[in-house]
């Protein structure tokens, strides 16, 4: 039996995280806010080996602009509230 993987549920968007690029968006913008995709289909959600790796992914900073104007890390996805959950439908 294989272990269940973890997925991220975005409470603000009422869906599963499907894609994320912390450097995404208009390249002319000096302070990227990233791009992400949300799906209502759990089969399309990004999978993580465990909750810790899911949270590390959620907190990953932009490589293009690692600091926000206020000096704090630029981690665009942390703007949203997430829950790490077991992959739905697998036992």
Mean pLDDT, residues 20-49 taken together: 89
**What percentage of the chain exceeds 90 in pLDDT?**
73
Q: 57 — phi, psi (to 5°)?
A: -65, -45
pLDDT at 67 over 50: yes
What is the spatial distance between Cα 47 and Cα 6, in angstroms, rounded to a whole number? 6
pLDDT tens readout for residues 4-22: 699 999 999 999 999 999 9
What is the mean predicted confidence (pLDDT) over 43-62? 95
**Averaged over 22-38, what is the pLDDT?**
85
Domain boundaries, the chain: 6-86
């Amino acid at each position: 039996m294989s272990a269940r993987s973890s997925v991220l549920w975005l409470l603000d968007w009422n869906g599963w995280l499907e894609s994320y690029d912390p450097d995404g968006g208009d390249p002319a913008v000096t302070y990227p806010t990233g791009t992400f995709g949300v799906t209502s289909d759990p089969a399309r959600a990004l999978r993580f080996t465990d909750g810790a790796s899911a949270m590390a992914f959620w907190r990953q900073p932009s490589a293009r602009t690692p600091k926000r104007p206020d000096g704090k890390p630029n981690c665009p996805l942390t703007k949203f509230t997430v829950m790490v959950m077991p992959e739905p439908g697998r036992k």
